[in-house]
Amino acid sequence: MVGKGFDREQVIAWLSEVADPEIPVLSITDLGIVRDVDCSVGVTVSLTPTYSGCPATEVIEASVVAALQERGVEDVTIRRVLSPPWTTDWISPEGREKLRVYGIAPPERRARPIACPRCASEETELVSEFGSTACKAAWKCLECLEPFEYFKCL
């Protein structure tokens, strides 16, 4: 399909359906890791890794290629960009809300208690700074007693 120019907005819409493999409620656009889409020759998608050692990086790249090829984009190039480094500030407002509904407290810049994603109580405590993945910590709500994960601020 060389020669056919793809619409950038359309490609971004397709990418917004590619899920993060570790937190499947989030798409890669919610996560803010799609840094650029260039449709001048085929489609080049610039992605930034979250953590250097994030094992999801390769899976995400393969999912992007597969998702675009399914929609007829044959010439897909993935460009890995490191700069500026990804920060949790790039998670979109919709992404933050999706995280909360999924049961993961979104990252919080302000110095305030982490609110329970289930009952919204701010009576919570840190259980472990290290969670099931490099990007999460384990917390507990003292009000509804549910354990929950908190997406660490980076």
Partner 1 sequence: MTDKELLAAYSTRLGDNALVLGQRMIELVAAGPELEEELANANFALDFIGQARLFYTYAGECEGEGRTEDDFAFLRREHEYRNLLLVEQPNGHFGDLVVRRFLFETFYVYLLDALTRCSDEGLSEIAARAVKEIRYHLRHSRQWLLRLGDGTVESHARVQESLDQLWQFTGEMFVPDELDDAMRAACNGPHLEIIEAEWRKDVSDAVAEATLLLPEDGWMASGGKQGRHSEHLGYLLAEMQFLQRSYPGASW
Using DSSP, state whether 9 is helix, strand or coil: helix
84 binds partner 1 (CB under 8 A): yes
Contact between 108 and 91 under an 8 Å Cβ cutoff? The reply is: no
129 binds partner 1 (CB under 8 A): yes
21 binds partner 1 (CB under 8 A): no
Which residues is 27 bridged to in the sheet? 19
Please tell me the count of residues contacting partner 1 according to CB under 8 A: 19
**94-122 as b/e: b if 16+ CB within 10 A:** ebbebbbeeebbbbbeeeeebbbbbeeee
Q: Which is nearer to partner 1, 14 or 148 (CB)?
A: 148
Q: Contact with partner 1 (CB under 8 A): which of 82, 93, 110, 111?
A: 82
Measured from the Cβ of residue 33, the count of other Cβ atoms closer than 10 Å reads 24
Q: Contact with partner 1 (CB under 8 A): which of 5, 85, 113, 147?
A: 85
Q: Contact with partner 1 (CB under 8 A): which of 3, 24, 53, 93?
A: 53
Q: Contact with partner 1 (CB under 8 A): which of 10, 69, 77, 128?
A: 128
